[in-house]
Amino acid sequence: MKELKINDSLLILEQGDITELNVDVIVNAANAQLILGGGVAGAVRKKGGPTIQEECNKIGSTFVGGAVITTGGGLKAKYVIHAVGPRMGEGDEDHKLKNATLNSLKLMDEYKLKTIAFPAISTGIFGFPIERCSKIMINTAKEYLQGNTQIEKVIFCLYTISDFDIFEKELK
């Protein structure tokens, strides 16, 4: 595990299954329709139970770069933030990924939550390059943690060792 202290907060890298983390919030790499399909969303649906999808259905949808919050259902995490990253090739992807990260962090402060875990948003079926993702997400979190926030821990939980290594290289 690698970590970086920023003011009163920690930015942490972990390798493993995000749905197993004991944090206030895990971030789901969502689609704009908030339908829990494959990848991280599939794991959230399977381990969290039907409540999360039911709450998403009530919310309806959000925009690319947006984030919405639901309870964590049967997960260890109390909440799930559904952040919609860009599909590669749709245009303005870097800006949209930054906004998905930023809007998730803003929801943390709005709900006065302290610990959050992000996956590598948009790098699965949406085809976003992991190197670009690591640079954007880490720098957005670093910048945010330098401001006025009560967030104590921002964790980037990478499913594979190779993704972890790329994030670790960026953190250095």
> Percent of the chain beyond pLDDT 90?
95
Q: How would residue 1 be classed by pLDDT, with cut points 50, 70 and 90? A: low
pLDDT digits (tens, 9 = 90+) for 93-117: 999 999 999 999 999 999 999 999 9
Question: Helix or strand or coil: residue 61?
Answer: coil
Number of helices (H) and strands (E) in the chain: give both, helices first: 5, 7
Q: What pLDDT, in 10s, does the model give residues 120-156?
A: 999 998 999 999 999 999 999 999 999 999 999 999 9
Q: How far apart are CA 169 and CA 46, in angstroms?
A: 32
* Alpha carbon distance 14, 158 (integer Å): 6
DSSP state of 39: H
pLDDT at 76 over 70: yes
The domains located in the chain, with CATH, are 2-171 (3.40.220.10)
Mean of the per-residue pLDDT values of the chain: 96
pLDDT at 68: 98
Average pLDDT rounded to a whole number, residues 49-66? 96
